[in-house]
Amino acid sequence: MLPLPEINFTRTPVTLTVAAVAVALEVVSTIDETQRLHYYNEWLGLLPHIWMGEPWRPFTSALMHGNLLHAAFNIYWLMIFGPALENRFGSYLTLALIVLLGYVSMLPEYIIGSYNREEPIMIVGLSGVIYGLFGVLFVGRRWHREFEAVCDEHTVRILIGWFFLCVVFTYSNIMSVANIAHGAGFVFGVLYGLAAFDARHRFRWAAVATLASLVVLSTLIACPGHKGYQNALQIKKARQIQRLLNEVRQSDGL
């Protein structure tokens, strides 16, 4: 039997706020499907704009979803895993963890999955974050048995089984799933969990987690060879040239 979500804004404001934002975006997008693409392209979606002064997009893209069922699945697990960790870490650290997992799961999906694509595919959903939180709980239950309440063997089988099923779905062309985000989220979640809970080897795990995170986050600054990055450089160069031409025209006018 699946656990029931905990709903208590006083104790878990971050989890509930993130869930509420994701719900609001999905409700609006479901009512008017044109808004989904509009939000994705203009403000929130993971596009080459990350190299054009819009670095928030990996996380905001995670807050969007492809449809109502997709959103419901992810928000359910957020409401299961989020409170368990927020009660342990506190709200500020939980917010940092959720945001960081958004970046380190979505960026690998975008960088690897769209490396040679002229037009990147739409990447949305909190599933990378969910698998990251799952990874933290998966290793954390060794030291904190209360995590078993939301991450028991039944839950482990469900999420690991779903991961491999999604891989099969993707390669069978049944549906496109962000498998890289799932895998990256889980791996980073395990690293963060070991850094947080394994006191005996904390320094080692913290160093590995920090280095790995910085490698992924560095792609926000530069990603040589990526089609999106090259396109962004061309657009930025064209804008600089246009700006210089405008300045020249203005000075000539004077």
The tens digit of pLDDT for each residue in 15-67 reads: 999 999 999 999 999 999 999 999 999 999 999 999 999 999 999 999 999 99
pTM given for the model: 0.92
Supply 71's token pair. Answer: 């959103």
For residue 213, pLDDT over 90 is answered with yes
The mean pLDDT value for 74-101 works out to 96
Q: What is the DSSP string of 127-163?
A: HHHHHHHHHHHHHHTTT-GGGGGTS-HHHHHHHHHHH
Neighbours of 93 (CB within 10 A): 14
Q: What average pLDDT does the chain have?
A: 92
Distance, CA of 188 to CA of 211 (rounded, Å): 11
* Phi, psi (deg, nearest 5) at residue 143: -105, -25
Domain residue ranges of the chain, discontinuous segments joined by +: 13-253
Distance, CA of 111 to CA of 106 (rounded, Å): 9
Q: What is the pLDDT of residue 4?
A: 72
Q: Which of 2-6, 9-13, 156-160 has the lowest mean pLDDT?
A: 2-6
Note the maximum CA span of the chain: 76
Q: What is the pLDDT of residue 5?
A: 76
- Could you say which of 2.30.30.60, 1.20.1740.10, 1.10.10.10, 1.20.1540.10 is the CATH number of the domain covering 13-253? 1.20.1540.10
- Give the residue, 242 or 79, on which the prediction is more confident: 79
Confidence band, pLDDT 50/70/90 cuts, at residue 253: low
Cβ pair 29, 64 in contact under 8 A = yes
Helix (H) or strand (E) holding 192: helix 179-197
For residue 153, pLDDT over 80 is answered with yes
For residue 7, pLDDT over 90 is answered with no
